[in-house]
A and B are shown apart, each in its own frame.
Chain A
């Protein structure tokens, strides 16, 4: 399980170094070290309560780790949720996490908040309107690239779940992140939609963006990921290629044999 640690030739992406998180007496993450090189897709698996979402929350700065540190592109990285997209990190949430009071287009445009100026456009001068139109055009491009541009003016609650999932993905991709965190993107999707999602995820690294995928659908993880890390009770118990992980008896004990129906 050591053999896949980054060698010098690979461009740095996100590096987790000895990340430990304790909530009172509970150790949610126990000295987890992991590299996510640029342009790679890394899957994180593990039973419920293994620490997958805790790991995402540390990367997103929802709470700081008790010990350990993060590096992004070779630099120390202290994340804060609302500054993540400025650092080139985008995340989707479990479920949808869309804004029901905003149209699809406005939802995706909101993902470009980091590219907007501070201050208020009180007078809605032509410059401000032009900036808004440019943002909307970029959001429209993101929707088009996922094939859901036709729903731009609709409210999310009026759309099928699969479409909403794509809108949520478009909102994450619109900021052109260098690291994309996907929290159970296949949850609630049917077989065909998962196949399509797999195709979309595989295309993300083409512009150098790395992907971390937390997912319960083992087939999807095995299909799209370059590497897979397995957590159990907060520890990293295995890391390697999908084939390697699939054959690991410790993984089968902790996870595959129990969880998969």
Chain B
């Protein structure tokens, strides 16, 4: 996809989703906002773990860093009497920046770790989160977390859109922005270098790529995306607390990336949708079954975890490329496969012909047969 096409697609998606908020009920708009917030965190994992090969279980902690950065800066600004768009934009920027700074610190350490050690280290971040918030409870609000003074929707829109729709607008715009920037990176030089380091760090270094710098950069980018997700969650829920960023949530983010298809950002979209839709569908289903109060209480929340686990096992066994992989395969049966990556000049590959190719290295003369092998 060319860059222009990518931007047009992003704009079309944003317009479409914003238009959708005029049709769907306000609770669905709220769910759309949550999907978009999750999507930022999951897309960060697509870059870090999918393209970069660094397994992180700590994405929730980085989203929490974004949420707390949002909360602290928004409350401080509100106390100082700020209002208007600044009270929205500055905290969102702070969320991205705060998570990126934590990501840099983590990445500097994580650059030396790989595989299960990196997974364990990043998991420790999430596990430590409640301890951190209760230790610094005067600032971070302990187990309760922080309530946030949020900037409401602009006065001009108050007659037109609901609060939930406005939240969805904001989340749609921010997440489309995040996804577009991540796509730019993944399809450009950085994505190439990142995959090269993932596939063969020694060969990547010999090609002139600095593996440590590349991995740390990936951590910072992924964290910044997670920070945006955390900031959006903070805005939508008007709170930032340790309970929302548990280890289970962190694992869910990774599962969503894998189930959606960790090889592509489109997969992250399916994963985020599933992460919100699945618990909702399950609770809708159980409420219709007229179960005893005791049983439904036990199933509440837990059943979603079990179903998600089962889906993950099935996907890993049957479709390792995730939902997106399945869709691509299904699409491939309907039409000829699109070329994997653009060759810059000739779109149709010519048969290899050493004799006719213009060459920087002159064609060897004399010592060897000029015809291809096999003749």
Give the contacting residue for B181; candidates A98, A123, A192, A202; CB below 8 A.
A123
- Interface membership of A32, Cβ < 8 A: no
- Interface membership of A144, Cβ < 8 A: yes
Assess A123 versus B184: contact at CB under 8 Å? Given A132-B189, A147-B352.
yes
Give the contacting residue for A102; candidates B192, B217, B374; CB below 8 A.
B192
Task: Report yes or no: B200 in contact with A98, Cβ–Cβ below 8 A.
Answer: yes
Assess A151 versus B352: contact at CB under 8 Å? Given A99-B200, A129-B3, A204-B361.
yes
**Which of B192, B211, B362: most chain A CB closer than 10 A?**
B192
- Interface membership of B330, Cβ < 8 A: no
Query: Given the complex, which residues of B lie within 8 Å of A112, measured CB to CB?
Result: 208
- Interface membership of B373, Cβ < 8 A: yes
Task: Report yes or no: B192 in contact with A111, Cβ–Cβ below 8 A.
Answer: no
- Interface membership of B368, Cβ < 8 A: yes
Task: Report yes or no: B358 in contact with A144, Cβ–Cβ below 8 A.
Answer: yes
Task: Report yes or no: B193 in contact with A155, Cβ–Cβ below 8 A.
Answer: no
- Interface membership of A91, Cβ < 8 A: yes
Give the contacting residue for A153; candidates B190, B198, B217, B341; CB below 8 A.
B341
A115 to B193, CA, bound (A): 13
Task: Report yes or no: B361 in contact with A173, Cβ–Cβ below 8 A.
Answer: yes
Task: Report yes or no: A105 in contact with B343, Cβ–Cβ below 8 A.
Answer: yes
Chain B interface SS verdict (over half):
loop
Chain A interface SS verdict (over half):
helix
Smallest beta-carbon distance A131→chain B, Å: 8
Task: Report yes or no: A100 in contact with B361, Cβ–Cβ below 8 A.
Answer: no
Task: Report yes or no: B368 in contact with A86, Cβ–Cβ below 8 A.
Answer: no
- Interface membership of A26, Cβ < 8 A: no
A124 to B350, CA, bound (A): 29
Task: Report yes or no: B188 in contact with A124, Cβ–Cβ below 8 A.
Answer: yes
Within 8 A of A (CB), among B148-186: 181, 184-185
A128 to B344, CA, bound (A): 14
- Interface membership of B199, Cβ < 8 A: yes
- Interface membership of A184, Cβ < 8 A: no
Within 8 A of A (CB), among B204-253: 204-211, 217, 221
Query: Given the complex, which residues of B lie within 8 Å of A99, measured CB to CB?
Result: 195-196, 199-200, 203-204
Give the contacting residue for A113; candidates B184, B193, B195, B373; CB below 8 A.
B193
Task: Report yes or no: B188 in contact with A132, Cβ–Cβ below 8 A.
Answer: yes
Count of chain B residues with a beta carbon within 8 Å of a chain A beta carbon:
53
Stretch at the interface among A2-10, A63-71, A193-201, A210-218: A193-201
Query: Given the complex, which residues of A lie within 8 Å of B81, measured CB to CB?
Result: none
Give the contacting residue for B357; candidates A102, A105, A106, A144; CB below 8 A.
A144
Task: Report yes or no: A136 in contact with B344, Cβ–Cβ below 8 A.
Answer: yes
Give the contacting residue for B361; candidates A98, A110, A203; CB below 8 A.
A203
Task: Report yes or no: B198 in contact with A101, Cβ–Cβ below 8 A.
Answer: yes
Task: Report yes or no: B208 in contact with A200, Cβ–Cβ below 8 A.
Answer: no
Task: Report yes or no: A151 in contact with B205, Cβ–Cβ below 8 A.
Answer: no
A102 to B196, CA, bound (A): 7
Interface residues of A (CB under 8 A from B): 60, 81-86, 90-91, 93, 97-103, 105-107, 109-116, 120-124, 128-129, 132-133, 135-137, 140-142, 144-153, 155, 162, 171, 173, 175, 190, 192-193, 195-196, 198-200, 202-204, 206-207
Jot down 12 A-B pairs with beta carbons below 8 A, ordered by A.
A82-B210, A82-B211, A97-B200, A99-B195, A99-B196, A99-B204, A110-B207, A112-B208, A122-B184, A133-B344, A151-B349, A196-B373
